[in-house]
Amino acid sequence: MSSVRVRFAPSPTGFFHIGSARTALFNWLYARHTGGKFILRIEDTDKERNSEAYLKVILDSLRWLGMDWDEGPDIGGNYGPYFQSQRTELYKAKLQELIQLGKAYEKDGAWWLRLEGKRSTVFDDHLKKEIEKVDAAPMVLDDLVRGRVERAEDRDFVLFRSNGEPVFHFVNVVDDIEMKITHVIRGEDHLSNTSKHLEIFKAFGVKPPEYAHIPLILKTDGPGKMSKRDRGALIEEYQNKNYLPSAVRNYLCLLGWTPADGKEILPIDEIIKQFELKAIHQSNARFDEKKMSHINAQTLRALPASEFVAIAKPILQHAQVLNDNVSDARLAEVLSIIQEKVNSLEHLPEFVGFFFNNDFKKDEAAFANLTKKGGEPTARVREILVHLQSIEWNVAAIEAAFNAAGTEHNRKPTDFFAPVRFAVSGQGGGAHLIGVLHALGRDLTLARLQSFIA
């Protein structure tokens, strides 16, 4: 049994950012890798933006990505409450402690941490005003990812605002102490804040936890880190596009960490087994939706057929392409021939809808391709139709019909493929045509070819 205790401490804002998801994931992976505890703590001190619906977004997203927690707002635990808004008395008591120790003082109605060092008054270019600087000793951080980092705070900072509410730095450290957090795994944007946190630990006389500052996720193009407004930045986008949560999670793992064995696509228990903080990268990574899409596609095709059906069925039902006549067996049959070709679930309804409905969409670009370079789709369909009309409806016979048509008209059998595919599906691509025709059945195939040339 490991003594590792890590936490993810999101602020409920109504959205779940991909960067937050990755931070949560790394904490979760570390807890699961070490056999420690993963704790969820809600930083809802900002009453303006707090609501239950917002909390639900976070919990649902974490669950969707397959993460679970050992202590948290919904399940409790020995170190609760897990909402910061319910820990006000604790923060006040801890402030009193610092006041007693002479480490905090009041000024302008707020409570400040007193740094140790020589003081002088200087004009600050950034704040555009006179401030009191303190020549404090640098705080030394032995970061698990970055190594030794030294940084000195140069002025006192606020612990409690004049309105009586504690600030982030204070509650964050107090909670980490009280919840016995052993490892803080967070974004590099907090690296500069760490000296403040270490000062607070020092003021309390408490040994700080280990820190691991992980690289940030940058915009695909353009400057800066991913922000909520960037395409692909919110987890809900992937839920809406029917991405496989395991694929999203897999990709997120690759942003800032590389599996030791070099394999990029791997099951979560394998990732848990291999995950090490020392292997986390030091440099930021640019988000690449194409790569995530690729991982999603690979994962999708590798799914056991029954699982693929289970995932696809509700999506097709929701898109209303399945009517009551479609049996589970029939659905499984159709899905089995397209799974090896499928790229995403986002457009699955259009991809397989023609099997179940006669009013399928027709891809205009695909149709345009048929007549390019002197193509005569109507003639080809007319020619192949003759050979398909009276055959036994099995794969071998259908294939033989294409060969016969090719021989008769001195063409490659494949010359008939694209026109036939478009006639029966309205698409330019898809699963292997012979299999499609076989699954579609004789009646529908012939009827659609007839109507194409009519």
Partner RNA sequence: GCCCCCUUCGUCUAGCCCGGUCAGGACACCUCGUUUUCACUGAGGUAACUGGGGUUCGAAUCCCCAAGGGGGCGCCA
129 makes contact with RNA (CB under 7 A): no
Secondary structure (DSSP) of 240-296:
HTT--HHHHHHHHHHSSB--TT--SS--HHHHHHH--GGGB-SS-EE--HHHHHHHH
Which token pair is 73? Answer: 């707002």
410 sits near RNA (criterion: CB under 7 A): no
Query: Which residue type sits at 102?
Result: G
377's tokens: 């789709």
The stretch near RNA (CB under 7 A) out of 284-292, 309-317, 354-362, 381-389 is 284-292
Pairing of strands 157-160, 110-113: antiparallel
Number of Cα atoms under 13 Å in the Cβ half of residue 344: 16
Query: How far, in Å, CA of 178 to CA of 170, rounded?
Result: 12
Do the Cβ atoms of 256 and 280 come closer than 8 Å? yes
The pattern of x and - marking residues 14 through 53 that bind RNA according to CB under 7 A reads -----------------------------x-xx-------
132 binds RNA (CB under 7 A): no
Choose between 43 and 236: whose C-beta lies nearer to RNA. Answer: 43
Residues 158-177 that bind RNA (CB under 7 A): 158, 161-163, 165, 167-169
Check: CB of residue 59 under 8 Å from CB of residue 301.
Answer: no
Considering only 60, 236, 237, 264, the residue that binds RNA (CB under 7 A) is 264
Between the CA of residue 308 and those of 143, 264, 335, 348, 432, what are the distances in Å?
43, 21, 8, 12, 19
Smaller CB separation from RNA, 209 or 430: 430
User: Shortest distance, CB of residue 425 to RNA, whole angstroms?
Assistant: 9
Candidates 70, 429, 447, 451: give the one binding RNA (CB under 7 A).
429
Selection from 23, 102, 105 nearest residue 65 by Cα: 23
DSSP-derived secondary structure letter, 190: G
HSE value, Cβ hemisphere, 13 Å, CA-based, for 44:
23
Applying CB under 7 A, which part among 92-100, 290-298, 321-329, 381-389 lies near RNA?
Answer: 290-298
Contacting residue, 33, 273, 294, 330, with RNA by CB under 7 A: 294
CB 212, CB 239: distance < 8 Å: no
Task: For the CB of residue 46, give the shortest distance to RNA in the complex, in Å.
Answer: 5
Single out the residue of 4, 11, 51, 114 in contact with RNA (rule: CB under 7 A): 11
- Decide if residue 231 touches RNA (CB under 7 A): no
Binding window for RNA (CB under 7 A); candidates: 32-40, 86-94, 365-373, 441-449: 365-373
Contacting RNA within 177-206 (CB under 7 A) = 188-193
**Pick 31 or 398: Cβ nearer RNA:** 398
Kindly tell me which residue out of 126, 128, 207, 229 binds RNA, with binding defined by CB under 7 A: 126
* Min dist. Cβ of residue 389 to RNA (A): 18
The SS3 of residue 202 is helix
Q: Taking CB under 7 A as the criterion, which residues in 47-106 touch RNA?
A: none
Residue in 108, 130, 261, 269 binding RNA, rule: CB under 7 A: 108
Among 105, 356, 417, 452, binds RNA (CB under 7 A): 417
Q: Which stretch binds RNA (CB under 7 A): 221-229, 240-248, 385-393, 443-451?
A: 221-229
How far is the CA of 219 from the CAs of 110, 230, 296, in angstroms?
A: 38, 7, 20
Q: What is the footprint of RNA within residues 296-355 (CB under 7 A)?
A: 297-298, 301, 340-344, 346-348, 350-351
Name which of 186, 187, 296 is nearest 239 in CA terms: 296
Distance (Å, whole) CA 194 – CA 211: 9
Residue 378 binds to RNA (criterion: CB under 7 A): no
Choosing from 70, 74, 116, 124, the residue that interacts with RNA (CB under 7 A) is 124
DSSP classification of residue 4: -
- State the number of binding residues for RNA (CB under 7 A): 89
Residue type, 67: M
Choose between 36 and 287: whose C-beta lies nearer to RNA. 287
Residue 431 as a binder of RNA (CB under 7 A): the answer is yes
Cα 35 to Cα 91: distance, rounded to the nearest angstrom: 30
Question: 13, 54 in Cβ contact below 8 A?
Answer: yes
Give the one residue of 26, 38, 82, 402 binding RNA; rule: CB under 7 A. Answer: 402
Task: Output 207 or 290, the one with its CB closest to RNA.
Answer: 290
